[in-house]
Amino acid sequence: MNTFTKIAITVVATASLVVGAGAYAGKKFASGMKGEFLIYKLEKELDLSSEQVDRLEGIRSYMKAKHDSHDHADCKIKLVAMLSEPQLDQAQVLSMLDEKMQTMRDSAPELLGQIAGFTDSLDTEQRSELVEMIESFSGRMHKH
């Protein structure tokens, strides 16, 4: 590999790592007011029953617990240490990514079960309104 290729790979990997770590650490979509507001909005827009709202609360609390159990400080220390080195240790970065992906794979069945429980409790009208909300949201997000 020539020098330019090594530099390009290092820059792309570092940028990806920094952006990913920043997005992961900085955005707390599953906690705080954002989660409560989302539940409130879904409750009003879809006219959810109290059982359906409880299912959404269960999903939110599960995601918040997973987020809170992650050691953000340790991840930041590792990231800063890797970026301080003269060369990015690509094997170590891949190892960190594999570890995070495995954690997500391990918790996916339980989360998916909770999401399925909620969506299965929706009637046809609520389900179609939810699909419309998702399409509208994703359409707005493409503009940013």
CB contact at 8 A, 9 and 78: no
DSSP, res 92: H
Q: Give me the numbers of helices (H) and strands (E) for the chain, helices first please.
A: 6, 0
Please compute the mean of the pLDDT values over residues 125-133 and round it to a whole number. 90
pLDDT value for 88: 87
Q: DSSP per residue over 14-59, as a string?
A: HHHHHHHHHHHHH--TTSHHHHHHHHHHHHHHHT--HHHHHHHHHH
Separation in Å, CA 27 to CA 23, 24, 32, 67, 90: 6, 6, 11, 11, 25
Q: How confident is the model at residue 39 (pLDDT cuts 50, 70, 90)?
A: confident
Residue with tokens 């609360």: 57
d(CA 42, CA 31): 16
CB contact at 8 A, 56 and 48: yes
DSSP, res 85: S
Q: What is the pTM of this model?
A: 0.63
User: Where in the chain are the domains?
Assistant: 3-141
Please compute the mean of the pLDDT values over residues 24-37 and round it to a whole number. 61
